[in-house]
Amino acid sequence: MVYKLDMHVHSRYSDGTNSVKELIRATKHQGIDGFALTDHDTLKGLAHVKNTRALVIPGCEISTQGGHVLAYGIQECVPKDLPVEEALERVHEQGALAVCAHPFDFLFKGVSNFKAYAFDGVEVLNALNLDSYSNTRAQKRAHNMIHTGGSDAHLYQSMGFAYTLFESLDSVDDVLVQLKKKQNRVGGRVLRAKEYIALSKQIQSSNDRIKHCVLTRLAQPIINTLPLQAGVLIARGVIPFIRATSYARELVSYLRA
């Protein structure tokens, strides 16, 4: 049996919008068998993972001085704002895996020079990357490293767009073993602009916290960085630049309404 796990999911314990229980309940509907709970710089949400059929991997997205690090199998929280090398050492001391999150995302900080550090793997497919170039570049650079895919979900409705496939899982340890042996596969795709807007409209004014999260986490940073990033995006291709610009402005307009 093939198991589909979303290896990058946030709850309301950081900047997500849903409780851990809501995320667990949504797994079947979203077409996944489980997920890695990777809140920013906290493990508080793991206390709510009990007696569930969904497989929940203990994880964390650590904010280092050089960018974001996904830690899988972690037991103790690593302090934020450490140098990358020190954060990786603390992850490895726990027997956990350190994966470079969205290394080439132009919005949210990744460690683009991940080859210079002792990363075990790289997130080669992040569903929130607005242009395919970021993921493609990560895939090409991550030779002989663990590959993972995740949706970077901050709403339960966006879980499962990007995922990691495993064979015959019975426990969290099986996930870590298969990752270490590079026996996993990555699948899925990025969210399209219309899909994210549709998700936002489904939950519109019923929860102001959700609107605030989507606005501050995704759309507004795009608007704020457009002047700076325009050259980079155009260099990658005119279509990605136009898509990112129109997407962000439409989403911000909706969320501010």
For 46-69, what is the mean pLDDT? 95
CB contact at 8 A, 80 and 86 = no
**pLDDT value at position 51?**
82
Q: For the structural domain made of 2-188, what CATH number should be given?
A: 3.20.20.140
- Per-residue pLDDT band for 253 (boundaries 50, 70, 90) equals low
For 236-246, what is the mean pLDDT? 50
- Going by C-alpha positions, the residue among 72, 67, 70, 71 that lies closest to residue 104 is 67
**pLDDT value at position 248?**
57
Reply yes or no on whether the pLDDT at 215 is more than 80: no
Reply yes or no on whether the pLDDT at 155 is more than 50: yes
Integer Cα distance of 217 and 158 in angstroms: 14
Reply yes or no on whether the pLDDT at 256 is more than 70: no
Virtual torsion, Cα 38, 16, 33, 64, nearest 10 deg: -20
Q: Where are the domains of the chain?
A: 2-188, 193-256
For 190-203, what is the mean pLDDT? 69
CB contact at 8 A, 131 and 236 = yes
Average pLDDT, the chain: 84
**pLDDT value at position 53?**
87
Reply yes or no on whether the pLDDT at 220 is more than 80: no
Strand partners, 57: 36
User: What percentage of the chain has pLDDT greater than the value 90?
Assistant: 63
Reply yes or no on whether the pLDDT at 227 is more than 80: no
- Going by C-alpha positions, the residue among 234, 236, 145, 133 that lies closest to residue 186 is 145
For 56-79, what is the mean pLDDT? 98
Query: pLDDT, tens digit, for every residue of 94-149?
Result: 999 999 999 998 767 899 999 999 999 999 999 988 767 889 999 999 999 999 99
Integer Cα distance of 78 and 89 in angstroms: 10
Reply yes or no on whether the pLDDT at 160 is more than 80: yes
Phi, psi of 153 (to 5 degrees): -75, 130
- Going by C-alpha positions, the residue among 152, 108, 148, 115 that lies closest to residue 4 is 148
Integer Cα distance of 13 and 11 in angstroms: 5
**pLDDT value at position 208?**
55
Highest mean pLDDT among 107-111, 198-202, 211-215: 107-111
Reply yes or no on whether the pLDDT at 55 is more than 60: yes
Q: What is the three-class DSSP state of 94?
A: coil
Residue 22's contacts (CB-CB under 8 Å, 6 or more residues apart) are: 156
- Per-residue pLDDT band for 205 (boundaries 50, 70, 90) equals very low
